[in-house]
Structure 1
Amino acid sequence: MPVLLAISFVHMMNDSMQAVVPAMYTVLEKSLSLSYVQVGWITFALNMTSSVMQPVVGSYTDRTSRPYLLPMGMALSLLGMVGIALAPAFWSVLVAVLFIGLGSAIFHPEGSRVVYFAASGKRGFAQSVYQVGGNAGSSLAPLMAYAIFIPFGQFGAIWGTLFAGLAIAVLLGLVPWYKKQLQNWKASGAKKGGRGLNLEQRSHPRVVFAMSLLVFIVFGRSWYHSGISGYYQFYLIEHYGLTTQQAQIPTFLFLAAGVLGTFLGGVTADRIGLKNMIVFSIAGAIPFSLMLPYLPLWLVYPAIFLLGLILLSGFSVVVVYAQHLMPAKVGMASGLTTGLAFGMGAIGAVVLGKAADVFGMTSVMQSIGFLPFVGLLTMLLPSDRKRTAA
């Protein structure tokens, strides 16, 4: 448990640094005169780097893990924080977020492997503790905007270096334990096997189909998540007449509810099964995603809280499901689900930004309400309950 809490804390610091970027959108829009599509390109640069690189890093470390990559990745993120605070133009912001993204890409596969070693058979619970840290860090974005970035402007991003410093200190303490676990894992031959889902002896075509479908589902979910976390604040300002600071509150409720949902989803999945939890998390969000753009302001707050609670209850469960599919490639499984699929969803940030410039933010918010329907494809995934019955 101390290891889980420590790596969860680092996950919170890492994702807090990533959260600085969307938290700065309204500030950067004014200080650098950005358009919506430029905001989308910043999101694209961050998420594509932090996410698409994850399977590459995961595949490499599955073969040759390097424990000291963890603090090295955080050092890159620290440089990115300094870059955002001092960026004089749009292109310099892009370079800065590339550093943050690369640091995050290095951290996530290795962080998931630490969780895998510390799980002690309770994979859903362990992964949920880890993801709660990350989601808690992401949920800080609106609060940081409200308390720091809006009052102090662009240079307020320099506070992100504190997150990096704390993370590096904790990781340096974890490295010896992690190194020992890797040595034991290799000695036991665990790298060659492991029990996954009972997919007719894990036939290769079915595993490929299940992983491809899982990546596509997360891809669709991340498009919607990008729309709410990145652009909904602009919709609140335009449609309801809220101030920039007031618009942070519903966004915070969505992200904060996701923290609670992530933990509850992981714990519940250990009881009802991984696939069942994934189906519930996305299908259950559909009514709220459809009604959100049409609600009166007073109903927005409870509705967006419930939306975040349900939608992100399957966040950690997807990773565990992927690791069961690919038990010998834990880093790759993590990289494909929290990395590639989520990063490809960053394309949505650019598309949505361009659509908002052309058609207006109201049309965009109404249209993305249908994206969670993609999650109904989870019913085609193999059931993990067969593993228990075998």
Structure 2
Amino acid sequence: MARRDDHGDVPRNRSILLLSFGHACVDTYQGAVASLVPFFVTERAYSYAAVSGIVLAASLLSSVAQPVFGALTDRWAMPWLLPVSTILGGLGITLSGLSGSYALTLVFVAVSGVGVAAYHPESARVARLVSEGSHTAMGWFSLGGNLGFAAAPLMVTAVVACGGLRLSPLLVVPALAGSVLCLPVLRALQKTGCGGFGTAVATGADDKASFVKLSLAVICRSIVFIGLSTFISLYVQQRLGGSTAAGAAALFVLYLGGAVGSVLGGSLANRWNRVTVARWSYLVTVAAVTGIVFIPGPAIYVFVALTSVGLYVPFSLQVTLGQDYLPTRVGTASGITLGLTVSIGGLVSPLIGSIADATSLRTALTPLILMPALSWLLFRTLPEPSAPKPTAAQQTGDDTDAEPSPARDQR
């Protein structure tokens, strides 16, 4: 066992665990912006339009900037971005709570968004390198982000509700922790000579057509998840008699199911290929969203859970599929699948709200049933990429390693 601690699964698992915790710390700040909105309204008397501008500044800038950072990491290895971007994300949120100026608040929230944007493409590259092609390991990495996003409301409420926005400096703690957690992973990569871009990229031709289809499927997935995240609490309150606790419970189930789905997706992909797993998960999601919209009573919680699991089983698989469809531009692929497609999906939420105002919330949510169906149709046209071929540097490393090559995990 001691030998495996040098070259086997143990260091990989430890590194993925550290990266997962670091991912949770960063994504805490994605959820923190919306969590601060009630406190901005209460303490600074911001209007709804004003706080909408704050949320938009964070989400859109972060999502659109991620492909830019992805393109940069395709040209140069930037592992130092992990600790620096983590600090930047936390610092922006901290300063937004201290500034009384609306303009400065927008700037600081935007700074946090840039930090989040800088983190994801490079962290996805590093996680793929550390995971040695394991879908299970990438699932655990994605799980960290899901948990961090879900923990944001608890963190912000625990800190700010006690002493107001003046206590916002305490919100920097996850950033400090996340920046430290990634350092052992980066040092290990540096020692093995795998920290550079050349050792992370696989050889092969880009399949741009498949990548475009994958991106469209991710957009459809994003529309469903963000739409439900925005309105599921209100919808469950309506269906179950107006209880705010019932609505909050539904939102918790939606987040919890996502955590389960992220891990389950990696495990399933080790038994079947990624395209097959994603295709079946979207088919299950069609039935689950239908249940949310039409099945009455407490059974709605079961369908919320199934929907969340169905939407998150493909989540990490889509990231690695994008990297394999664009093997010469894995940073760009990561930035688009993790960022840009999500923001495009989020732009549909105001349209759902407008339809709900004009008709009913059930009518507005009904079209969401079509979204996973479209993702399913798109995945039916996608091929499963072959296992990436290791570079010369990786082959040299494999010669000195007793473990099989990463291709073994690409089953």
TM range (shorter): 0.7 to 0.9
Q: Is the 8 A contact 2:26 2:178 kept in 1?
A: yes
> Displacement, 1:83?
3.7
Q: Is the 8 A contact 1:289 1:370 kept in 2?
A: no
Instruction: Please give the alpha-carbon distance, in whole angstroms, between the structure 1 residues aligned to 2:163 and 2:228.
Output: 25
Instruction: Please give the alpha-carbon distance, in whole angstroms, between the structure 2 residues aligned to 1:166 and 1:291.
Output: 41
Relative to structure 1, the CA distance from residue 191 to residue 304 in structure 2 (aligned partners, 3 Å threshold; closer, same or farther) is closer
The 5-angstrom pairing of residues 72-83 of structure 1 reads: 72-83=84-95
Equivalent position of 2:383 in the other structure:
382
Paired residue for 2:24, among 1, 8, 12? 12
Instruction: Please give the alpha-carbon distance, in whole angstroms, between the structure 1 residues aligned to 2:193 and 2:344.
Output: 30
Q: Is the 8 A contact 1:135 1:255 kept in 2?
A: yes
Instruction: Please give the alpha-carbon distance, in whole angstroms, between the structure 1 residues aligned to 2:369 and 2:165.
Output: 32
Q: Is the 8 A contact 1:190 1:328 kept in 2?
A: no
Equivalent position of 1:198 in the other structure:
none
**Equivalent residue of 1:65, what SS?**
coil
> Displacement, 1:62?
1.7
Could you say which structure has the larger radius of gyration?
A: 2
7-16 or 371-380: which moved more? 371-380
Equivalent position of 2:232 in the other structure:
232
Paired residue for 2:140, among 121, 125, 129? 129
Equivalent position of 1:48 in the other structure:
60
89-98 or 279-288: which moved more? 89-98
**Equivalent residue of 1:66, what SS?**
coil
Relative to structure 1, the CA distance from residue 73 to residue 121 in structure 2 (aligned partners, 3 Å threshold; closer, same or farther) is closer
Instruction: Please give the alpha-carbon distance, in whole angstroms, between the structure 1 residues aligned to 2:153 and 2:196.
Output: 41
Specify the code of the residue in structure 2 equivalent to 1:378.
F
Equivalent position of 1:330 in the other structure:
330
Relative to structure 1, the CA distance from residue 66 to residue 120 in structure 2 (aligned partners, 3 Å threshold; closer, same or farther) is closer
104-113 or 157-166: which moved more? 157-166
Equivalent position of 1:372 in the other structure:
372
260-269 or 289-298: which moved more? 289-298
> Displacement, 1:140?
2.1
Instruction: Please give the alpha-carbon distance, in whole angstroms, between the structure 2 residues aligned to 1:353 and 1:81.
Output: 28
Q: Is the 8 A contact 2:71 2:331 kept in 1?
A: yes
Relative to structure 1, the CA distance from residue 367 to residue 150 in structure 2 (aligned partners, 3 Å threshold; closer, same or farther) is farther
RMSD of the alignment, in Å? 3.2
Equivalent position of 2:3 in the other structure:
none
Instruction: Please give the alpha-carbon distance, in whole angstroms, between the structure 1 residues aligned to 2:322 and 2:212.
Output: 10
1:343 aligns with 2:343: yes
Percent identity at matched positions?
A: 26
Equivalent position of 1:260 in the other structure:
260
Specify the code of the residue in structure 1 equivalent to 2:85.
G
Equivalent position of 1:170 in the other structure:
181
1:316 aligns with 2:328: no
Higher relative contact order (CA 8 A, sep 6+): 1
> Displacement, 1:385?
6.9
Gaps of 5+ in 2: 1-12, 389-406
> Displacement, 1:20?
1.8
Equivalent position of 2:285 in the other structure:
285
Relative to structure 1, the CA distance from residue 71 to residue 169 in structure 2 (aligned partners, 3 Å threshold; closer, same or farther) is same
Normalised by the length of structure 2, the TM-score is 0.80
Relative to structure 1, the CA distance from residue 315 to residue 298 in structure 2 (aligned partners, 3 Å threshold; closer, same or farther) is same
> Displacement, 1:210?
0.5
1:108 aligns with 2:120: yes
Instruction: Please give the alpha-carbon distance, in whole angstroms, between the structure 2 residues aligned to 1:185 and 1:68.
Output: 11
Instruction: Please give the alpha-carbon distance, in whole angstroms, between the structure 2 residues aligned to 1:42 and 1:362.
Output: 29
Paired residue for 1:120, among 103, 126, 132? 132
> Displacement, 1:175?
3.3
Relative to structure 1, the CA distance from residue 83 to residue 336 in structure 2 (aligned partners, 3 Å threshold; closer, same or farther) is same
> Displacement, 1:112?
1.0
Relative to structure 1, the CA distance from residue 295 to residue 38 in structure 2 (aligned partners, 3 Å threshold; closer, same or farther) is farther
**Equivalent residue of 2:348, what SS?**
helix
Aligned length: 376
Relative to structure 1, the CA distance from residue 347 to residue 120 in structure 2 (aligned partners, 3 Å threshold; closer, same or farther) is same
Relative to structure 1, the CA distance from residue 374 to residue 180 in structure 2 (aligned partners, 3 Å threshold; closer, same or farther) is farther
Relative to structure 1, the CA distance from residue 185 to residue 91 in structure 2 (aligned partners, 3 Å threshold; closer, same or farther) is closer
Gaps of 5+ in 1: 196-201
Q: Is the 8 A contact 2:125 2:200 kept in 1?
A: no
Q: Is the 8 A contact 1:235 1:365 kept in 2?
A: no
